[in-house]
Each structure stands twice: as structure tokens, then as C-alpha cells.
Structure 1
């Protein structure tokens, strides 16, 4: 809702009339299992796409890391907005940092990416599942179910909860997810009028960066069922892209890859992402198996 209200305010400031259609999704409702076991991040967008298809809604505002890498036919990503802090945040009432946690401490996250990166930093920790909205996750922490939890810094900052952040992970230690911290706006692909109206909200640097990140995940067959991280940074027209893949069973070492290239177009951004995915595979990362053909 914060995201939708944020976009509403920006569009209204430009003279548009905007009404909110509040919805919940299966991703919001299924809280007793990890996303990787119940259908993935697409659970957060399907109901919104149905509302677009039926004409009940005209635009859908998403946290981009929750948007599947391939949109269904008839839909388009019309706008990617300027990115908030893409990093992960360490949240704990009693411990100042990950390094300060005692041996065997319980850390909550349902992200396979965070799980493998935490295990690489602190193999002794117990990583336990954590689902629910932000308030629910913080309540479970405060009740003592966890010694610490790891959340996206962007969500805490947007909801005025930045004071709960005890430490922020630098990407070198905890590489963010593809698209983390960025908002994407989805429309029906035949609505060029909406694409034009949303154009002033777009941030080209963010769009190019997340396009490269998402290309890594797409090439690896990535979803929330894959422990994959991808994060890009722009410097003077050159995009540096870092990625990491881990084995949730702990049998294989963490695989990292890095490359940089001048990027001014989406095609160049995606090409860099494909090159990184290839380096991950060459380093031992395992992509998702292609789906079996339908009988």
C-alpha cells in the first residue's frame, strides 16, 4: 500500500486522477510455508495481473524483486522508478551485528539467497523460516523466536522503521537480490497512453541496472526457489555487475562472478547479465532444469 500511495501521489502531482484498488494476493495469504515451496514470487503479482486484464485496474505497482523474470503475454513493465537502498538489513533487539551473534544463534529469513550468504559468513548459525508482513516479522523477533532477522533495508525505510536497523550489510558481504529496492509499474502492453503517462516517473539508471540483474536470474532459470543474488552499480556509464549462487544443502561452495561493461541500452544491460550467468555456470552454479514438455 505504501508503494501504491507513493505512485499515486507522484501521478496526482502531475495532474492525473488516481484511485487505489486495495488487494491481497496468495503470497500475502500463505504464511506457513516458504515461497519456494508454494509457487514462488509470482504469487504476489497474479491477482494484480488479473485485475489489469479485466480492466478493474490500469496499473500495478510492484516491488521489482517480487516480479517474475518473464511477464505473461499481454503485459509489460512500463516504468522502473529510482531505487531505494538495495541492501539487506540486520535487525536484532540484543545484538549489534551479525558478527556479534553468539555461536548457534537463530536468524530468521525465508530467502534462500540470504540463507546461503548467511551460511557463507557464519556457518554456525541456525537459519529458520520467517514469513509474514513487516510488522509480523518484527513481532516474532521481539517475542524472542529469533536472535536476529534479515530484511530488505528499503522496506524498513519506506515504512519509517529505519530505527530498527542495527547494521546494514554491504553488498560485498550480502549481495542483494535482483531488483531489490526498486519499484516497477506493470500495465497491459496495449496501453501506450499509460506508458507515456508513467514515463516521467522512470529512472533510466535504475532501469538499466535492474535489467542486467534480472537477466542473470532469467538466464539461470531463477525464482525464489533459487539461491541467487545479482547486484549492479553504475560508475560513469559503466555498469559493474556482481552475482552469487549458493547450494542450500551446503555441499557446494559459494560461486561468485563479476563483470563490467559500458551500458546505455536495455540490450547491453541484458547482454552483461547473460555473460555473468555464463560465468556462474562455468564456476559450478546450477541453473534450474527446464520444464518437462506437456503431454
Structure 2
């Protein structure tokens, strides 16, 4: 057996080990790199977020205009793999590669899809100028150096290829000022933002993607921002459905969203976290509180040639 094979077996063995804390399962490969769990409850929530994205975009898996016949697509931090699976079905002639720290993806997938265990913050081993689209979604809990990630994406993308980043801007707002002055939802954001900053994470990075892409040398940078309500209070029928799903995934997901950061980094006791989250859940369930986040889709193109 070659040393490369030995390293691969060691890696896959480590990736299949897990860390258990406060009743939740976390990734074992490079533990702590990603702050959220990877158990069944979190996987269900990730799939629901995919459904929300599809509702918001009216069924579009990506907004970057990559054409009808891309050859290679890379999905960074694929999670459950649901985006990669749907994308492989949409482009059956393309090779789709999806990477993540955790091997939690299904085994039965389209034949043109490959899942790989990888850390997006390490050096990418893909061939330069070999990929048509690099896609990354909902990774503000895991990426600490976005400019480096964009440079790596630019290196592996073909001339004319696209990078697309999708993220929630989770600073809450209220169009009719029904969010209380001492809002528990706002306190959730400010608390997690301060804690995350201590470990190099930026929870408000979504609004910075556009300028980051321009600084990285991408051209034709486009940013599309969608309302993401918490609750079914908007008038539009589709947005009512979006809001209902968003409220459910947030209320059900608060434990996974907050526990790792608040117990590991901030040093809170589990009891303190539970009491804090109970107040946030009450506010999210309050139909009199009209609160929303924003969902940012930002994409940019690698220049065809150096000017």
C-alpha cells in the first residue's frame, strides 16, 4: 500500500469519528473547525434551508449564468449534499464534485456526482482553470479567511467561470418596527457575533461578499438580495411559505446554532444557554413580531484574459 493510500485511509477513518457534546453530534475531522452539529436534526434543518432557497429563487439552483453545458462544478461545504445532488441531476453531462468535513451525504447519488472529504481552508488540490462554477452556501460558521477562499476559487476556475456565494445576513430588521427594543432575536445575533469574532468568524460577512469578489479580481460581480422573513406575516403567498419554513428551521435549530459557540467559546453553562434560547424562541413564535433577515446571492466571473 502506498503512503498516499495510507494517508487516505487515515483521513477517512478520522472523518467517520464524531464528537458528542450536549446531546449533539459534531464532526471529528478537525474538530471545532465548524461550529454547528452534523446529526440528523441538523441535516433535516439544512435540507429545509435548501427548500427555502429554492422557494425564494423560484426554483433556481444558482443565479450565475454558467450556460447550459458546464463541464465541472465544485460545491464547497456541501453538508447533506442536497444542492450537489440536484445540480448533478440538472446537468447530467457535468462532473459535480462536493466537499465537506463530514461524510454525512447519501450513498445513492447521480453517477456524475462525487463527494470528497476536504477542508476548504486548506490548499485546494484541483487543477488550475478546470472548473466552471465554484459554489458555497451557508458557510459563515466555518470559513475564517474569505479572501483566501476566493483566491483559491479564482485559481481553479476556467477563464469565464463563476464563483457564487450564498449567505444569510442575520442582523434582524423589522419593516413595521414590531421588533421589541430589547429584542431577544437581536440579542441572539449580537451575542453570537461577539463569540464568533473571538474564533475568527464574521456573522455579517454576507454583505461584504460583493466587495471581496471585486478585490479578488472577479468581474461582472452581481449581488441579489432577497427578503427572508421569520414567520408567515408577509402578504405574498410564496413569502408566507418561506417565512413559515424559516421560523420552523430557526426555532428548531437554535440549539445547534448556539450551543457549540456559547459553551465552548463563551463558557456558558448548558442551563444558561437553554434559558437564553427559550426567550428567543418565544419571540420568534410571536405572530405580532414581524422580523426578517436577508438572503444574499453574490456571483462573479473570472476574466477571460489578463487585461
TM-score (norm 2): 0.30
TM-score (norm 1): 0.31
